[in-house]
Amino acid sequence: MDRSVREPSWKELRGISASCVRMVLNLLQTHTLEESKELIERSFGQYIAMQQLSPQQQAIAI
């Protein structure tokens, strides 16, 4: 298994909060890189779905 990870640029890291960085580091301590990536992608996918759903829920409430 290749666990090498490229070094991100400063521009990529600038917008990431410290809590997000801690979350990723904690995942990497207990999961493989692939498992961590999958969990993060699922979490982000759920966030996007909720963001898209919110305007629809507001429109229904009106």
26 versus 18: which is more confidently predicted?
A: 26
Token couple for 24:
């990723």
Cβ(32)–Cβ(60) below 8 Å: no
Amino acid at 31: H
d(CA 46, CA 19): 18
Band (50; pLDDT cuts 50, 70, 90)? confident
Q: In the prediction, which pLDDT does 35 show?
A: 94
